[in-house]
Amino acid sequence: MVVRKKQVHVCRECHRVVDGEACVICGTSNLSEDWAGYLVIIDPERSEIARKMNITMAGRYALKVR
């Protein structure tokens, strides 16, 4: 039995983890499968890493996108 992992795409513009074919935040379809570092932002107003990455909405993000 072969188990295939679902390919996760990340927006190259805002680093958001995307489920579909385009980013729901910035609308671009410029997505990548080559990324590293999984980040979940719950409260962007109180998060220092969210401030450094210019993230203003809660969600799942990648730290590095190639």
Residue 3 annotated as part of some ligand binding site: no
Residue 11 annotated as part of some ligand binding site: yes
Residue 14 annotated as part of some ligand binding site: yes
**Amino acid type, 33:** E
| CA 34 – CA 8 distance, rounded (Å) | 9
Residue 23 annotated as part of some ligand binding site: yes
Q: How many other C-beta atoms are found inside a 10 Å radius of the C-beta of residue 10? A: 25
**Amino acid type, 29:** S
Annotation: binding site: 11, 14, 23, 26
Annotation: binding site for Zn(2+): 11, 14, 23, 26
